[in-house]
């Protein structure tokens, strides 16, 4: 065995002797609380002996006594995939180091370029934590804790020779192994799905998901599944090739939209939202996202290069004008479908002292409808373009005695006399200058003691997960507007003469921003 391998083994042995579970966790920046479920088990290195049989005598020189060699299935597979070489022989030898051990992967007869690359990058060197009482719940929690600490899934496998499941992670310039006795196949599958390459493929095929859902919605498949129709009967009813329909349903099942049963397929809670008769149906949104917006998003590069919406580039006119000219595409129905989630506005905001609420550009009136349901004492005014106002009047007909629908355009002004004004998903359609003009028109019409409610998705200021960044690119591409942070809204409101007073969370990463005129 070469001196370079003996030096690596000596350093690893010294590290094992000097550290414990808590210090290893600290090295990776992981929550030390997980030490309750695991313990520092071993350190591992990859060496390149000329013969496996030479290893025991060579290691005596550095104070290590090794046990018998066993095949390493996981490392052999990783090396084969990394270098495209089959037929490698990798053995594992273990040597005690106090109460722990050093794990030695021995690769015999490797090509010189493989040896050089592995010595430089040390891909297979790692520190290992043994799970003390492994089960699916514990392993899933440990995986989540390690990923929250910044570690990235980096392969794994099951070694039948020693009956253990290993999960590798990489972080802080090092690799960490989570080793569990037994075969935990479900956990292993989930871990491998979370590897960067696997996750990247899922992201790159996201457009396939959008189109598959839209096609199923357009063909009425979700309604027929709700009626418990068989795949054969659905294919006949919608005029589809049975085998092709089966393949589409299988893909939708992998997305969690439908579920396979012994007799065919049934809707999941997600799929139930795509029924046309669902209370909060997202069927119109599925058609919109898989239709016109799908086509315009295909020209995203044009928006990134020019800063202008690609919708106009693709369709020859801005999206509001296009959908007004093509009402059969159901843009207003899609907006109403998403507005229906805002029933919590009446719960989050206290309307008890208000008398008159004005919904500016309120679409078909779904939000105002829910506010009036939640506050029976309120009067309402919905202000919308003439082509939408008729739809709003029909939707709000049950409140005809306390709600007026006024046709108009907020670019010229808004109705006066309200004590609460609402702008729901309006400002994100426009640039800052246009938003200032809209806000100032509201300020000009509002009494000094009135309040302005804004419903928008807020870009997180701390990088936390949110739907808002995706919708920000959507606004760039399809509308020409943008999503904003709460600080951005605070400054924009201040310039228009308002003081932002609060921000409340709503479903689907929306927020309710409240403000008052200064």
Q: Which of 381, 450, 376 is nearest to 414 (CA)?
A: 381
Residue pair 38/131 in contact (Cβ under 8 Å)? The answer is yes
What the block records as the tokens of 481 is: 């507007």
- The two counts, helices (H) then strands (E), for the chain are 25, 17
Cβ neighbourhood burial of 180 (10 Å; 0-12, 13-18, 19+): buried
β-pairing, 451-457 vs 510-517, is antiparallel
Q: Which of 293, 260, 288 is nearest to 274 (CA)?
A: 288
Q: At CA 240, angle to CA 237 and CA 241, rounded to 5?
A: 130
The catalytically annotated residue of 121, 428, 474, 504 is 428
Q: At CA 141, angle to CA 136 and CA 143, rounded to 5?
A: 95
> Which helix H or strand E contains 356, and what residues bound it?
strand 356-360
Question: How far apart, in Å, are the Cα atoms of 392 and each of 147, 164, 388, 422?
Answer: 47, 63, 6, 15
224: helix, strand or coil: helix
Residue pair 360/423 in contact (Cβ under 8 Å)? The answer is yes
Q: How far is Cα 53 from Cα 81, in angstroms, rounded to an integer?
A: 26
**Residue 269 contacts by C-beta under 8 Å, 6 or more apart in sequence?**
none
Question: How far apart, in Å, are the Cα atoms of 192 and each of 76, 169, 261?
Answer: 17, 11, 26
Report CA Rg, the chain.
31
Q: Is 428 a catalytic residue?
A: yes
Residue pair 279/206 in contact (Cβ under 8 Å)? The answer is no
Residue pair 398/336 in contact (Cβ under 8 Å)? The answer is no
Active site residues: 428
């Amino acid at each position: 065995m070469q001196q370079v391998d003996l030096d690596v083994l000596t350093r690893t042995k010294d590290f094992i002797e000097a550290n414990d579970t808590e210090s290893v966790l600290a090295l990776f920046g992981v929550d030390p609380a997980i030490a309750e479920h695991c313990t520092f088990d071993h350190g591992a290195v990859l060496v390149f002996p000329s013969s496996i049989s030479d290893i025991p005598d060579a290691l005596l020189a550095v104070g290590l006594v090794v046990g018998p060699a066993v095949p390493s299935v996981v490392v052999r597979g990783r090396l084969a995939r990394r270098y495209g070489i089959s037929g490698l022989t990798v053995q594992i030898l273990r040597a005690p180091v106090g109460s722990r051990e050093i794990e030695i992967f021995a690769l015999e007869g490797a090509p010189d370029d493989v040896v050089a690359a592995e010595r430089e990058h040390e891909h297979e060197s790692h520190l290992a934590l043994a799970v003390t009482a492994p089960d699916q719940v514990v392993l899933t929690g440990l995986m989540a804790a390690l990923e929250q600490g910044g570690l990235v899934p980096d392969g794994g496998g099951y070694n039948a020779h020693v009956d253990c499941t290993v999960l590798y992670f990489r972080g802080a310039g090092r690799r960490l192994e989570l080793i569990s006795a037994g075969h935990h196949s479900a956990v292993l599958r989930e871990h491998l799905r979370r590897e960067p390459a696997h996750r990247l493929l899922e992201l790159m095929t996201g457009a396939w998901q959008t189109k598959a859902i839209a096609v199923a919605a357009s063909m009425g498949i979700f309604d027929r599944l709700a009626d418990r129709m068989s795949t054969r009967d659905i294919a006949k009813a919608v005029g589809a090739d049975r085998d092709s329909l089966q393949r589409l349903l299988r893909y939708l099942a992998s997305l969690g939209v439908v579920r396979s049963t012994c007799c065919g397929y049934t809707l999941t809670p997600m799929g139930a939202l795509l029924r046309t008769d669902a209370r909060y149906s997202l069927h119109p949104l599925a058609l919109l996202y898989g239709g016109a917006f799908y086509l315009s998003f295909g020209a995203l590069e044009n928006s990134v290069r020019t800063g202008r919406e690609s919708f106009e580039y693709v369709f020859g006119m801005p999206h509001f004008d296009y959908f007004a000219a093509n009402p059969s595409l159901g843009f207003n129905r899609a907006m109403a479908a998403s507005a229906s989630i805002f029933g919590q506005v009446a719960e989050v905001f206290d309307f008890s002292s208000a008398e008159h609420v004005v919904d500016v550009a309120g679409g078909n009136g779904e939000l105002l409808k829910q506010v009036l349901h939640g506050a029976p004492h309120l009067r309402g005014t919905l202000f919308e373009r003439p082509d939408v106002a008729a739809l709003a009047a029909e939707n709000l007909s049950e409140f005809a005695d306390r709600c007026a629908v006024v046709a108009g355009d907020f670019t010229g002004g808004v109705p006066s006399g309200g004590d609460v004004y609402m702008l729901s998903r309006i400002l994100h359609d426009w640039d800052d200058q246009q938003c200032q003009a809209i806000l100032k028109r509201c300020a000009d019409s509002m009494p000094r003691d009135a309040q302005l409610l804004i419903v928008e998705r807020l870009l997180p200021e701390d990088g936390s997960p949110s739907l808002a960044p995706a919708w920000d690119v959507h606004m760039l591409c399809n509308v020409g507007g943008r999503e904003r942070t709460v600080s951005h809204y605070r400054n924009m409101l201040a310039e228009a003469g308002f003081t932002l007073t609060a921000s409340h969370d709503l479903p689907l990463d929306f927020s309710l921003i409240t403000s008052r005129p200064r």
